[in-house]
Chain A
Amino acid sequence: MKRAVPLTITFITGFLIIIGFFIPHDPIGGLQSTFLQWYAIIVGFTMVLGLMTLAKVHTRKILRREAGFGYSTVLIGAMITTLSVGFYSGVKYGIFETGTPFMWYYNNIFVPLSATMFSLLAFFITSAAYRAFRARNIDAALLLIAGALVMIGRVPVGDIIWSKFPDVAEWIMNIPQMAAKRGILIGIALGMIATSLRIILGIERTYLR
């Protein structure tokens, strides 16, 4: 019974969602819509759950003075500040209205910090490319040449050096790159169909653990 109920729910909802793809009219379409709304509500609750778990794990780390508890303190401090500023702005000015304390906090603290983290990639990629892009064999040489051609062809200076560089880069993106990508995409799609069917039919049950 403990397993039969969730397996039955999975089968019925999964099956109806698939049928709804082909028959969007009522009653199938209506049922599909209801299930999707339930799904959205559950996803909303998972976010609250995630927030609570994050707070619990890091609070415990601070209380026990575990290794790296300083970072946890920063995390909890930032979480409380963000929530406080968000609630204050939401109640006083309206959620996400421009010019509120929350938007100031978001634009001047969160955006620069977050963008900086991502921008660090420029340094790591250069260092990694310098170390890893060595023409040790034919495959590595091909990857190196393709990478360099796309890099130079995708920036305006490539066009200034030789007007055909952008066309070469576009050809690499449109032919060899796409052939590989399409193969990967077809593989992923087949894998997704197989896994979904296994879950709907109750063969794959690891999600019940």
Chain B
Amino acid sequence: MFKKLATIDRRYIYVIIAICIIIPLLTKIVLEIKVSPPVQSAYDSMEKLPTSSSVLFSIDYEPSAEPELQPMLLAILRHAFKKDLKVIVMCHWPLGFPLGQSALVQVAKEYNKEYGKDYVNIGYRPGTEAIMIGIGREIRDFFASDYAGVLLDSLPMMRAIHNYRDIGLLIGLEAGATGDFWVRLAGAQFGQKIVLGGTAVTTPDWYPYLQAGQIDGLIGGLKGAAEYEKLVESSGRGIVGMTAQSVAHIAIIVFILLGNIGYFAIRRK
């Protein structure tokens, strides 16, 4: 019996995990979300910005990270538009561009925002680090036009925006190492205020930046997205997904316990 506990067929594990995830997602049971200090700091950084300040969103993820980061993007965009901030969206990962565009169009519509006046999408340009340094001097050196080829100077909200000095907060939504570059280049060299949001896998890498004051907030994984949704009072995929994640985590812990019980029982024999 103990041997069976220590050697459960992986197919049973897969089926149980699938059930643990699918049922909560279908039933849409919502659990109470507690906001953690890093997410609260991120929210406060945005909250402190004066009306009409500019916020630069960097979409540095692709569809593989969409389930975790898209709910985060939607929640932060809602916060930005609710506060009447000017939103600029750019991306360093070319395949992330349509995700940013879809979210921007969707949320701008909810808040009746106008393209060029309230928000702008400057799109993708290759050369991650070069662009980050280049924006410190003049954004037009790299983004002479927006994603559709419209010159930045012909977009009313962009006329007064030239470099990091004109950007109140940078929100980097990251699935890889681009967040590190933002901290090292935009943060260290130009003193840009930064909030990072990342997948649950990448977020632990940025805790040192948060503690050292190099970033102003940190939103980690689907949990971070759920916490932000709670703060902006806009329930989305983050909050619903947390129930599924709760059940899945418990299932993983139970499997680990079973494995260890089997392991120790066999070893004692």
A residues contacting the other copy or chain, number (CB 8 A): 64
Contact indicator A181/B208 (Cβ below 8 Å): yes
Query: What chain B residues lie within 8 Å of A182 (beta carbons)?
Result: 208
Which residues of chain A from 18 to 39 have any CB-CB distance to chain B below 8 Å in the complex? 20-21, 24, 29, 32-33, 36-37, 39
The smallest beta-carbon distance between A204 and chain B, in angstroms, is 19
Which residues of chain A from 65 to 102 have any CB-CB distance to chain B below 8 Å in the complex? 94-98
Which residues of chain B from 67 to 107 have any CB-CB distance to chain A below 8 Å in the complex? 67, 94-95, 97-99, 101-102, 105
Contact indicator A111/B37 (Cβ below 8 Å): no
The smallest beta-carbon distance between A114 and chain B, in angstroms, is 4
Instruction: Give the number of residue pairs across the A-B interface with Cβ within 8 Å.
Output: 173
Say if the beta carbon of B232 comes within 8 Å of chain A: no
Query: What chain A residues lie within 8 Å of B105 (beta carbons)?
Result: 98
Contact indicator B64/A115 (Cβ below 8 Å): yes
Query: What chain B residues lie within 8 Å of A110 (beta carbons)?
Result: 63, 95
Contact indicator B127/A170 (Cβ below 8 Å): no
The smallest beta-carbon distance between A158 and chain B, in angstroms, is 8
Contact indicator B204/A126 (Cβ below 8 Å): no
Interface size of B as a range: 35 or more
Query: What chain A residues lie within 8 Å of B259 (beta carbons)?
Result: 130-131, 133-134
Which residues of chain A from 153 to 177 have any CB-CB distance to chain B below 8 Å in the complex? 154-160, 166, 170, 173-174, 177
Say if the beta carbon of A118 comes within 8 Å of chain B: yes
Contact indicator A123/B14 (Cβ below 8 Å): yes
Which residues of chain B from 23 to 63 have any CB-CB distance to chain A below 8 Å in the complex? 31-34, 36-37, 62-63
- Which has the most chain A C-beta neighbours within 10 Å: B32, B98, B138? B98
Contact indicator A159/B147 (Cβ below 8 Å): no
Contact indicator B34/A33 (Cβ below 8 Å): no
Contact indicator A152/B250 (Cβ below 8 Å): yes
Contact indicator B141/A157 (Cβ below 8 Å): no
Say if the beta carbon of A135 comes within 8 Å of chain B: yes
Bitwise interface map of B from 143 to 175 toward A, beta carbon under 8 Å scored 1, else 0: 000011000000000000000000000000000
Extra pairs beyond A36-B131, A122-B21, A177-B207 (13, CB < 8 Å): A39-B130, A40-B127, A103-B102, A107-B98, A115-B67, A118-B67, A130-B8, A130-B258, A155-B246, A155-B249, A170-B36, A177-B204, A185-B205
Chain A to chain B contacts (Cβ below 8 Å), 22 pairs = A36-B131, A42-B127, A43-B130, A98-B101, A106-B98, A111-B99, A115-B63, A126-B17, A126-B251, A130-B13, A133-B256, A135-B264, A136-B263, A144-B260, A151-B252, A152-B253, A154-B221, A154-B223, A156-B242, A158-B249, A166-B36, A178-B207
